[in-house]
Amino acid sequence: MFTGIVEAKGEIVSLTPKGGDVTLRIRTGVLDLSDVQLGDSIAVNGVCLTAVTLPGDGFTADVSGETLRLTTLGNLRAGSIVNLEKALTPTTRLGGHLVSGHVDGLGEVVSMKPDARSIRFDIRAPDELAKYIAHKGSITVDGISLTVNSVEGAVFSLNIVPHTQKMTTIAEWQPGSKVNLEVDVIARYLERLLMGERAAQSGQSGGISMAFLAENGYLKP
């Protein structure tokens, strides 16, 4: 688990194809690896990866073909800058929100514009994730815990303050940029709980609708 508070920016040193997947070597810069052991988890642009070697200036991690297809890691090149966060511990300050490092889908930056010293971004999420995104709720974008300022359909807005711009890869975002999205895990569990006994039926992976809520007494007539 992670908090979505980026600890450092790293640099991709190499991507080595291996039998259909890839081994990433990442230089971690100022990230303190003194307490990291082989097998520990590190989030790279919001994707939970396992450290398989620790060469001294960073770590390497194997990335499966599925992860390459479903996240932006497949678009990385040598020299790409990435957001890094070590897994949380029982004593970690939870400054963001609970993040699993399991990307739910790819979003696209629709627009950006100055807002005083901040930058306001509009990002379009996949339609199937829109129901999990709420005004003033939390969302993880490229591993960064952020607050949703507003939401209209599948497009949500973020207001990024100067500190966050400096400490993360957000300064590189442009309209058309693809970003990793992870919705708040609480929203996913709540959906499952609301299904009640239907959750045990084969083929039921979601399906909460206004009609379902009304039929089960969650909405007033």
Domain boundaries, the chain: 8-86, 105-184, 185-221
Assigned fold of 8-86: Elongation Factor Tu (Ef-tu); domain 3 (2.40.30)
Structure tokens at 209: 């609708």
Closest residue by Cα to residue 5 from 83, 103, 61, 117 = 83
Q: What is the pLDDT of residue 209?
A: 57
- pTM > 0.85: yes
Does 8-86 match 105-184 in CATH topology?
A: yes
Q: How far apart are CA 89 and CA 37, in angstroms?
A: 14
Amino acid at 122: D
Check: CB of residue 26 under 8 Å from CB of residue 36: no
Q: What angle do CA 115, 97, 92 make, to 5 degrees?
A: 120
Q: What was the pLDDT predicted at 211?
A: 59
User: Which residues of the chain have a pLDDT value below 70?
Assistant: 202-221
| Fold of domain 105-184 | Elongation Factor Tu (Ef-tu); domain 3 (2.40.30)
pLDDT of residue 37: 96
CB neighbour class for 202 (10 Å; exposed up to 12, middle 13-18, buried from 19): exposed
